[in-house]
C-alpha cells in the first residue's frame, strides 16, 4: 500500500522530504531478516532499482478500509540528534487513523512504464492505485483542505508530486524496491523513497525506507506490520552525525477490511 506508499507511510508529516545523490546496487536483502532485526537497524537497507510497478499477490485486489496505528517511534541518536517534527509525531501514537486504499488489476505496456487497467487480459497483475492511495493517506493525516492533489508521472509511476496548501509540495521518487513471498498468505515489500519537500523560502531533504509484512487472514481481512526508517541526505549539515544510520524509526500496525 504502499507498501503503503506512505508512502504510508511515513506520517506524511512536513518534515519528511528526501533526496539521495547515489545508491549502489548490491545483492538483494532478506526482508524477513530485516524485519526480525528491528529496531537494531544500523545501516540503510540496499535495494535494487525499481522495474516498473510493484506487483502484489492476487488477494490484494479490491477496495479496502484501512486502520493504521503508530505503535512506536524511536530516535536512535537522541539526545545528540533528533529529526525536526519527531516530537510532534508522538501525537499519533496509539491513534487509529482510517482511510481507503485500492489495489487494481492492470497489464503493463512493455514499451514504457505506463499501466493499462483491464479485467479481461489473462496476464493482468495487481498493483496499488498509487494516486488514490497517496491522496487518501495524506488527507487522513493532514486534512482534506490541506491536500490539493497527487500527480503521478504518467511515464514513470515511481515518481509523484503531492501538492499541499500554501504552495507547499512533496516530490517523491521510489529509487529502491524489493518484494519477498514467504508463503501463500505472507508477503513482504520494501521501498526506498527519495523525497524533496519544498515550500516558499524553505526546503527539506531526506530518505525513507518503508518495509511492510502483510498477512492474509481471510479473503476479506489482511493485517500488516510496517516499519519506517528516516535517513539524512548527504546534503544535510548533520549528515556526518548519522552517516547511513537511521535518525528516526516508526512501527505501525495495520488492518485492512475489504469493502463491498
Give the pLDDT confidence of 34-77 residue by residue, as tens digits. Answer: 999 999 999 999 999 997 789 999 999 999 999 999 999 999 99
The CB density around residue 241, as the number of other CB atoms within 10 Å, is: 13
Where is pLDDT greater, at 112 or 133? Answer: 133
pLDDT band at 122 (very low <50, low <70, confident <90, very high): low
Poorest-pLDDT segment among 9-18, 30-39, 171-180: 9-18
Ordered by start, the domain boundaries in the chain are 31-258
pLDDT at residue number 197: 86
pLDDT at residue number 19: 26
pLDDT band at 113 (very low <50, low <70, confident <90, very high): very low
Poorest-pLDDT segment among 3-7, 81-85, 135-139: 3-7
| pLDDT (average), residues 164-184 | 91
Give the pLDDT confidence of 134-172 residue by residue, as tens digits. Answer: 999 999 988 888 898 889 888 888 899 999 888 889 999
| pLDDT (average), residues 115-137 | 76
pTM comes to: 0.83
pLDDT at residue number 174: 94
Amino acid at each position: 500500500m504502499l507498501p503503503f506508499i506512505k508512502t504510508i507511510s511515513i506520517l506524511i508529516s512536513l518534515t519528511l522530504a528526501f533526496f539521495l545523490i547515489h545508491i549502489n546496487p548490491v545483492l538483494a536483502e532478506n526482508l524477513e531478516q530485516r524485519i526480525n532485526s528491528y529496531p537494531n537497524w544500523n545501516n540503510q537497507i540496499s535495494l535494487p532499482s525499481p522495474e516498473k510497478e510493484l506487483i502484489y499477490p492476487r488477494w490484494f485486489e479490491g477496495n479496502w478500509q484501512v486502520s493504521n496505528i503508530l505503535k512506536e517511534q524511536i530516535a536512535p541518536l537522541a539526545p545528540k540528534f533528533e529529526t525536526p517534527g519527531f516530537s510532534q509525531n508522538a501525537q499519533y501514537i496509539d491513534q487509529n487513523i482510517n482511510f481507503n486504499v485500492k489495489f487494481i488489476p492492470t497489464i503493463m505496456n512493455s514499451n514504457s512504464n505506463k499501466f493499462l487497467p483491464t479485467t479481461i487480459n489473462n496476464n493482468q497483475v495487481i498493483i496499488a492505485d498509487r494516486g488514490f492511495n497517496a491522496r487518501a493517506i495524506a488527507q487522513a493525516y493532514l486534512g482534506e483542505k490541506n491536500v490539493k492533489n497527487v500527480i503521478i508521472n504518467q511515464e514513470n509511476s515511481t515518481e509523484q508530486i503531492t501538492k499541499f496548501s500554501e504552495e507547499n509540495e512533496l516530490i517523491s521518487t521510489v529509487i529502491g524496491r524489493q518484494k519477498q513471498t514467504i508463503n501463500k498468505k505472507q508477503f513482504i515489500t520494501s521501498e526506498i523513497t527519495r523525497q524533496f519537500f519544498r515550500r516558499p523560502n524553505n526546503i527539506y531533504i531526506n530518505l525513507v525506507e518503508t518495509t511492510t509484512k502483510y498477512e492474509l487472514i481471510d479473503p476479506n481481512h489482511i493485517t500488516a506490520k510496517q516499519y519506517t526508517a528516516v535517513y539524512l541526505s548527504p546534503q544535510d549539515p548533520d549528515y556526518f552525525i548519522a552517516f547511513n544510520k537511521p535518525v528516526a524509526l516508526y512501527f505501525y500496525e495495520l488492518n485492512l477490511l475489504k469493502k463491498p
